[in-house]
Amino acid sequence: MPLPPPPSRPNLGLPSRPAPQEAQEEEPPPESQIGPQDGFQLTVYHLESTAPQSAADHLRKILHRVCDKLPPSSARNEIFGALIVRQADVRKPYDYAFLLLDPEKVKSPRPDILQELRGCITEEEPSVLVSWRVAQGVDKSRRATFNVDSREQAEELMKKLDEWCANRGFRVLSRYPSDYTGRWRLVYDFARHADLDAIASSPPVIDHLMYYPTTSRLVQPLYCRRPGNGPPGPSLIICALAMTDEG
């Protein structure tokens, strides 16, 4: 049974993206980056991260529970059989994974299906966050960088920033000095987006100097199934499951 058709007038509200600040936030993609980056994708955060594959395995378990709660049908099998879960990296553990539709099974872009899955995933496990993936490579939506003059200064500042973050309850996923852009900077990845917002609004003061963070300027798109302020339509996945074969 084919997938249900897309909404008659899907409207993707894609705000224009501000130009990135020079090349300061750019880094080479990890050698272990997996698979192509084409098509609509979701990023699911706050997953298990004890090993490189932990986040992807965690997301698969969530999807399995979501699928099991829906009545069996060929439409359900079509939708969940077309899902691909992709881990962020094969060497480093991250707390997020990517979710997309297999382009070999779903020939045209279907953001409507992924939008429905966003709600299903968060309803099944409220502790996770599901957003649209808006950039290639590792996720930088929780990243702050601080400009420094040398590696020595970066390492010294890192010790003090670690203490500053710990005192405020900001959980750090990773941090390291980098000179990829030709000048030294200190890179911090935080566990929560709210922590990054707090640091951006109130930068750290170390040794009487304020260190202003540089953050990624990525805009989250908004998916609107129908234009205007009309009532929302029924769930796409529920509609799909209603289209079962009855002989």
Residues paired with 223 in a beta bridge: 12
Please state, for a pLDDT cut of 90, what percent of the chain lies above it: 60
Residue 28 lies inside a defined structural domain of this protein: no
Same domain, 129 and 150: no
Q: Which of 139, 163, 188 is the last residue of a domain?
A: 139
Phi and psi torsions of 84, nearest 5°: -120, 125
Q: Listing from the earlier edge strand, what are the strands of the sheet with 41-45?
A: 83-87, 97-101, 41-45, 129-132
Please state, for a pLDDT cut of 70, what percent of the chain lies above it: 75
Pick the closest to residue 95 from 136, 71, 59, 133 (CA basis).
59
pLDDT tens digits, one per residue of 12-51:
443 433 333 333 334 544 444 444 445 799 999 999 999 9
Rg (Cα) of the chain, in Å, rounded?
21
Same domain, 112 and 188: no
Same domain, 117 and 200: no
pLDDT tops 90 at residue 193? yes
If you count them, how many residues does the chain have?
Answer: 247
Same domain, 69 and 167: no
> Mean pLDDT lowest for which of 105-114, 145-154, 204-213, 236-245?
236-245
User: How far is residue 115's CA from residue 235's CA, in Å, rounded to a whole number?
Assistant: 10
Same domain, 163 and 192: yes
Q: How confident is the model at residue 225 (pLDDT cuts 50, 70, 90)?
A: low
Q: What is the pLDDT of residue 137?
A: 85
- CB burial of 110-147 (b: ≥16 within 10 Å; e: otherwise) equals bbbbbbbbbebbeeebeebbbbbbbeeebbbbbbbbbb
Same domain, 8 and 64: yes
Same domain, 123 and 6: yes
Note down the domain range covering 75: 1-12+38-139
Taking all residues of the chain, what is their mean pLDDT, rounded to a whole number?
A: 81
- Report the domain count for the chain: 2
Same domain, 55 and 80: yes
User: How far is residue 247's CA from residue 229's CA, in Å, rounded to a whole number?
Assistant: 39
Q: How confident is the model at residue 147 (pLDDT cuts 50, 70, 90)?
A: very high
What are the tokens at 91?
């060497």
Residue 194 lies inside a defined structural domain of this protein: yes
User: What predicted TM-score, i.e. pTM, was given to this entire model?
Assistant: 0.74
